[in-house]
């Protein structure tokens, strides 16, 4: 797989990033991805007990990954959470080298991070957001289409329409995210102007992910139409179609307020589904790529298949 500005920026062999899955992106998963030549990403909340302290948890994850790999890795930082400032302090004190920011304004911490020599990638879902991120001097943007798992942009732009428009609008490197699970998606994303890809759902269905077996099996059994967007009024989120997502849709259709929906979602639904495997009351973030996932593999095998598949497609096509 060819070197790109993304792979050179991050010091990785392949321009492939693992998604920073909130409850699931542990040091063990990230290290497995990084050791395979891609970029592993850890989350401050990964594997954290209910009521745990994200700052303490982040320190533990950082200490663990440093014992598992000497390759580059990153931390995913949500900018709209109460503890973001405290987590930022942990990142600076621990001298983390790469941070991926999302769900807020890159104005907040980008200059501080860059002053400390930290590379910053910011997740965007529109051309306007990409331009703003570039004006804040981020090193690269992750353009996430509506196909993504978890939160999606309010405008719900498909990835393959979003990438070329962002590529025309900014000069910094672009990572494509959303709906990519195999080498065909990688080739297509790079052909449209991206210089790297980020995969989330594909890295749920791997051996090293702590996701509950029921969650992984649900992904493997998914068809193309088995995801849905809920909470469109305030925080559009793509997840698997389950009894819980059906209840959310019914509430939205009945005209329920955003407050009522927030109350329902605030009861640890994502953790309940993804970590505890509650298929009835839990929420299971899932991208549209789930229909492409047929088996649970080691993370290194996923990276290998992406790289080898990319080379094979390039030889056949070009």
Q: What is the second-level CATH architecture of the domain 5-209+297-317?
A: Alpha-Beta Barrel (3.20)
The pLDDT tens digits of the residues spanning 268-316 come to 788 888 999 888 888 899 999 999 999 999 999 999 999 999 999 999 8
pLDDT above 70 for 267: no
pTM value surpassing 0.85: yes
Token pair for residue 295? Answer: 């088996």
pLDDT above 70 for 64: yes
Q: How far apart are CA 167 and CA 194, in angstroms?
A: 7
Mean pLDDT of 59-65: 97
Could you tell me if 74 and 83 are in contact, meaning their C-beta atoms sit under 8 angstroms apart? Answer: no
Range(s) for CATH 3.20.20.70 in the chain?
5-209+297-317
Q: How far apart are CA 69 and CA 30, in angstroms?
A: 9
Q: What is the pLDDT of residue 81?
A: 86
Q: Give the whole-number percent of the chain exceeding pLDDT 70.
A: 99
Q: In what order do the strands lie in the sheet with 73-78?
A: 16-18, 196-199, 174-177, 140-144, 119-124, 98-102, 73-78, 40-42
């Amino acid at each position: 797989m060819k070197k790109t500005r993304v792979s050179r920026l991050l010091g990785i062999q392949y321009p492939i990033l693992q998604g920073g899955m909130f409850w699931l992106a542990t040091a063990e998963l990230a290290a497995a991805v990084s050791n395979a030549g891609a970029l592993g990403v850890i989350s401050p909340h990964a594997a954290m007990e209910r009521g745990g302290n994200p700052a303490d948890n982040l320190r533990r994850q950082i200490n663990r990954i440093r014992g598992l790999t000497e390759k580059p890795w990153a931390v995913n930082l949500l900018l709209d959470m109460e503890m973001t400032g405290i987590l930022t302090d942990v990142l600076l004190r621990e001298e983390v080298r790469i941070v991926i920011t999302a769900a807020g304004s890159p104005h907040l911490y980008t200059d501080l991070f860059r002053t400390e020599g930290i590379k910053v990638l910011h997740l965007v879902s529109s051309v306007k957001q990409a331009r703003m991120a570039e004006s804040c001097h981020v090193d690269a943007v992750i353009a996430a289409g509506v196909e993504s798992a978890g939160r999606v942009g309010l405008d719900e732009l498909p990835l393959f329409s979003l990438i070329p428009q962002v590529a025309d609008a900014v000069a910094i490197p672009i990572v494509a995210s959303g709906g990519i699970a195999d080498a065909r998606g990688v080739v297509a994303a790079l052909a449209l102007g991206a210089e790297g890809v980020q995969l989330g759902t594909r890295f749920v269905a791997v051996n090293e992910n702590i996701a509950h077996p029921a969650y992984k099996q649900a992904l493997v059994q998914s068809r193309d139409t088995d995801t849905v967007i809920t909470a469109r009024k305030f925080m559009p989120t793509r997840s698997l179609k389950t009894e819980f997502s059906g209840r959310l849709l019914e509430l939205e259709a009945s005209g329920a307020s955003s407050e009522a929906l927030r109350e329902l979602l605030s009861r640890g639904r994502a953790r309940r589904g993804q970590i505890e495997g509650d298929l009835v009351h839990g929420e299971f973030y899932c991208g549209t790529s789930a229909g492409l996932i047929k088996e649970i593999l080691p993370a290194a095998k996923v990276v290998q298949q992406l790289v080898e598949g990319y080379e094979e497609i390039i030889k056949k096509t070009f």
